[in-house]
Amino acid sequence: MALRPDLEIISRWIRPGSRVLDLGCGDGTLLRHLHDTAGVTGYGLEIAPHYVGRAVRKGINVIQMDLDLGLGDFETESFDYVVMTHAIQVVHHPDRLLEEMLRVGNEGIVTFPNFGHWKSRLQLGLAGRMPVSRALPSQWYDTPNIHLCTLRDFETLCRNKSIQILNRTMVDHRHHSGRWMQTVPNLIGEIALYSLRQREPLPA
């Protein structure tokens, strides 16, 4: 089966032979692909029991765990990459978890829905209602998303936390990319993909 396009982008950002921690790993598709194609080793963290079972059946080392509990069980720089796809907006303290990702891993990879997309702006501005789209399909009362943000919000957080953005790309709800999404990302892109690392402190 072909890998989903956004996961294919992520896999190109990860060096062969790396150690990877996948937060909210789902059924383990990304880790399985990385293991088979790039010799990657690592673990997945997942809270949903049905996904844990499916990941185990794929041969993935997976730990059932709530990301809101943090990553205190993992040592500093114990992984080359920490990946979190479509999960940062559902945790209670995304800023803290982002810091923990970059403590545990040398680099972090994060994806999230862009609340600054033009359809979201239109629904909120003209209809006066919380946006519903293919990238944000839930109603306000049953959505798992508790910390939606735009690209500008996320990049401001990165600056405030001295986090360096290594790569950024945008895809649509089908996880396909396009020229306009990269040209006007905060307006056209529906889903953001970032690779990050902690910025080195300036010499004294």
pLDDT tens digits, 160-197: 999 999 999 999 888 787 787 788 888 998 999 999 99
200 pLDDT tier (thresholds 50, 70, 90): confident
Residue 2 has pLDDT above 80, yes or no: no
The answer as to whether 8 is a domain residue is: no
Average pLDDT over residues 120-144: 86
202 pLDDT tier (thresholds 50, 70, 90): low
The answer as to whether 65 is a domain residue is: yes
Question: Starting at the edge strand that comes first in sequence, how are the strands of the sheet with 79-85 ordered?
Answer: 62-64, 41-46, 19-23, 79-85, 105-113, 191-198, 163-171
Average pLDDT over residues 18-47: 96
Q: For residues 103 and 129, which has the higher predicted lDDT (pLDDT)?
A: 103
27 pLDDT tier (thresholds 50, 70, 90): very high
Average pLDDT over residues 68-76: 94
The answer as to whether 203 is a domain residue is: no
Q: State both tokens at 130.
A: 């919380």
CA distance 31 to 162: 28
Average pLDDT over residues 196-204: 76
The DSSP 8-state label assigned to residue 115 in this structure reads T
The answer as to whether 50 is a domain residue is: yes
- In the chain, the number of structural domains is 1
Q: State both tokens at 78.
A: 């114990």
Task: Give yes or no for a contact between 149 and 112, defined as CB atoms under 8 angstroms apart.
Answer: yes
Q: How many CA atoms lie within 13 A of 64 on its CB side?
A: 9
The DSSP 8-state label assigned to residue 3 in this structure reads P
The answer as to whether 12 is a domain residue is: no
Q: What is the pTM of this model?
A: 0.91
User: What percent of the chain shows pLDDT beyond 70?
Assistant: 98
The answer as to whether 154 is a domain residue is: yes
Give the tens place of pLDDT for each residue, 34-50.
999 999 999 999 999 99
What pLDDT, on the 0 to 100 scale, is given for residue 5?
86
Q: Give the domain CATH number at 61.
A: 3.40.50.150
CA distance 179 to 17: 31
The DSSP 8-state label assigned to residue 149 in this structure reads B
> What domain range is 146 assigned to?
17-198
